[in-house]
Each structure stands twice: as structure tokens, then as C-alpha cells.
Amino acid sequence: MEYNHFMFDFHAHAGESTNDAFVTILRERELECKGNYRYFSLGFLPWLDDSFDFARYLSLIENSDLPVGEVGLDRRYNTPGQEMYLWKILSSISPDRLLVIHSVGRNGKVLEMLRKFKMKRAIFHSYASSYEEAKRIVDSGYFISLSPISAKTRDFQKLCTLPFLIESDKMTGKDGKDALEKLFSLVQEISKRDIKRELDQMKEVLFS
């Protein structure tokens, strides 16, 4: 069975999935293929060498109602102005816009900024940090999304007690499908909940 027949992939990348997934467009050259996807968002990560020109990116998101992301902060990179870029993005969009968040080692700061701008809907994708931080994210009204990378973290079983989405992230082709099926089975076993029903409900909330 194809995995997208029974679950929704909440985070994939352009060119990596032709399924009915939520795909992030991160590069100027990827804009031409966005018509291949029913669900997609426009993202800007300043540490990508070939990422959008920022002025061009702001113009794109300001003149549409598309989901925004992935955007965020990453402590692994010394790229100047990460917080400035995120601040300008959040100040340029409605609090109702759906956000896909990339956060590595900066969850507290990102959460502070989301609250500052009263953002209503955000997904911290491929979440791989502590249960305590995830609980703060969920209690703030936002979502975490678990990927095959998340399954390797110390707190993974505790994360499965929270509401969550699931995603393939950068895994492609048959390997990506197999990994997502394995992840789905694992979280279903750990959580003892009807994960398919929960994912369908969250999809309805996020994309209605």
C-alpha cells in the first residue's frame, strides 16, 4: 500500500515527492514546479547559498496567502541576521498564516518570536529536541512534526504522548515511503492512539 493512501506527509521537499504531501519550496528555481503539489509553502533559510533573494521572498509571501516556511533559526550556522530575517517575515504576514518552522537549538527564541507576533498556527518540523520544550510548544497552541530523525532522539517515546504530525522530510523514493510507514507503525504502537484519525483531523485544521 502506498503510504499516502493512509496518512499525510506533513513535510517534504520539492522534487523529492510526487505524492499528496505538504511540500516546502526553498529555492527560486523550485517555484516553477510548485504546480505539481496540492499543498506547498514558501520558505527562506538564509544559510542556503542559493536561497531566495530576501526582498524577492518577502514580495512573494506578502502578495499571497500561502503557508510560509520553512523559516526559522539554526544555531549550527553563523549566518548574520537570522533573527532579523525571521522578525521581518513574521512582521510581514497575518497571524493567521500557517508557518513551518525550522529550529535547531533555538526553540525558546523561536517560540518567543511567535508569541510576540501572536502567530496562531505553526509546525516545528522534524522535531528532535526535548520533551519539555515540545510540551511548551504544544501548550502554546502549536504543533510538532516527527520524522525518522526524531525517532532517534532520547525523548522520542515521551514525544509520542503529545499531539504530533508525521513527515518524511528529506527522505526520498521508496526509502522515504518505507521509512514513513515504519515511523507510522512505531508511533501507533507507542502512543496506543488512533494516529490516522488524529492526523486527518490535524490536516483539516491546518488546511481548512
CA distances from 94 to 68, 80, 117 (A): 11, 25, 9
Q: Mind listing the pLDDT tens digit for each residue in 154-180?
A: 999 999 999 999 998 877 666 777 888
User: How far is the C-alpha of 128 from the C-alpha of 134, rounded, in Å?
Assistant: 9
Instruction: Specify the pLDDT at position 17.
Output: 63
Q: What is the biggest distance separating any 2 CA atoms in the chain, rounded to whole angstroms?
A: 47
Whether the predicted model's global pTM rises above the 0.85 cut: yes
Give 108-154 pLDDT, tens digit per residue.
999 999 999 999 999 999 999 999 999 999 999 999 999 999 999 99
Q: Supply 109's cell numbers.
A: 527564541
- Chain-centroid distance of CA 201 in Å reads 17
* Number of other residues whose CB lies within 10 A of the CB of residue 171: 22
**Digit-coded pLDDT (tens) for 1-50:** 344 445 788 998 887 766 678 999 999 889 988 888 889 999 999 998 77
CA 159 – CA 169 distance, rounded (Å): 18
pLDDT single digits (tens) 83-101: 999 999 999 999 999 999 9
Q: Cell 499516502 maps to which residue? A: 4
Question: What gap in Å lies between CA 50 and CA 47, rounded to an integer?
Answer: 9
All structural domains of the chain, each given as residue ranges with its CATH number in brackets, are 3-207 (3.20.20.140)
- What's the first-to-final CA gap in the chain, in angstroms? 27
User: How confident is the model at residue 179, as a pLDDT?
Assistant: 81
